[in-house]
Amino acid sequence: MQEVMERIQMIAETEDVPVLGTSPAAQMADEPEGYRPEDLLPGAKSLVVFGIPVPRGVYRPAAPKVIENVWRTQGIYYRRLDDLSLRIAALLEETGDSAVPVFGCSPFSLNERKDVRGHLNQLRMGEVAGIGTRGRNGLLLHSRYGSRLMLGGVVTTAGLPAFRKPETTEPGCPPDCRICIEVCPIKAISPEKRRVNIMRCLQYTSRTPLLPKLRFLLLRALRPRAAERLMSITSLDEHTLHVCSQCVTTCPYGTGTP
């Protein structure tokens, strides 16, 4: 597996991906049923997770057109991250193992409470791989890039060695910092749980002109699988405008310097 790891690192280096980590899939065995690595890929042994930082200037709170710039940046980065996930998955399968990409934006699924969820929790992947720690804003924090990392990942049956680049020990949020909680316009952040009420957040911040809300709500209640497909098709990447990112733009974590 050493040669495979070197090739994965080479992809990260040549594609300007500064944050990369791997961990045993078993470290996510306590995730809810249906959202564990083995639920996505039977026989899963390892996780690969990587991050690309959004430029600080995109998230400047007082910047003109900040909403439009964040929207466009996220759409571009999601496609880039998904492409890298597919490339790494294909590389891992050259050894005879199986691998599945963990996409960053869609497709989505609805859990037992009919809340929107990805197929695997990328933030948790980042935590167990040691590339960051979860902040009070529910996002992955990195000492250099703060809350600005966008993530991609892979689940594989290959037994990869634990790896982390760069090496980092994250102290997490300062004890008295509550900026993200105070600026959230809908109080969706639970700081003690380090979690965001995703449905409350999406209902406030997402503008998806292609998604008929009444149809989605009816399908969500009566045919959740059909609702998932409708949401994934109409909300793909650039099709959804997010009008709020204050939990990121105001977060002071990370210096942005080497």
Give 21-72 pLDDT, tens digit per residue: 999 999 999 999 999 999 999 999 999 999 999 998 898 866 678 888 888 8
Per-residue pLDDT at 66? 83
Report whether the peptide linkage leading into residue 171 is cis, meaning its omega lies within 30 degrees of zero: no
Question: Six-digit token pair at 181?
Answer: 């909680």
State the Cα–Cα distance between residues 236 and 77, nearest whole angstrom: 13
Residue that the structure tokens 């050259």 belong to: 94
> Is the pTM above the cut of 0.75?
yes
Vertex 39 angle, CA 35 and 42, to 5°: 155
What is the predicted pLDDT for the residue at 239?
79
HSE at residue 80, side-chain half, CA atoms within 13 A, is: 18
Q: How confident is the model at residue 114 (pLDDT cuts 50, 70, 90)?
A: confident
Among residues 99, 152, 92, 158, which one has the least CA distance to residue 122? 152
Binned at pLDDT 50, 70 and 90, residue 80 comes out as very high
Q: CA of 42: how far to CAs of 34, 78, 97, 134, 228, in Å? A: 12, 26, 12, 27, 22
| CB 129 within 8 Å of CB 49 | yes
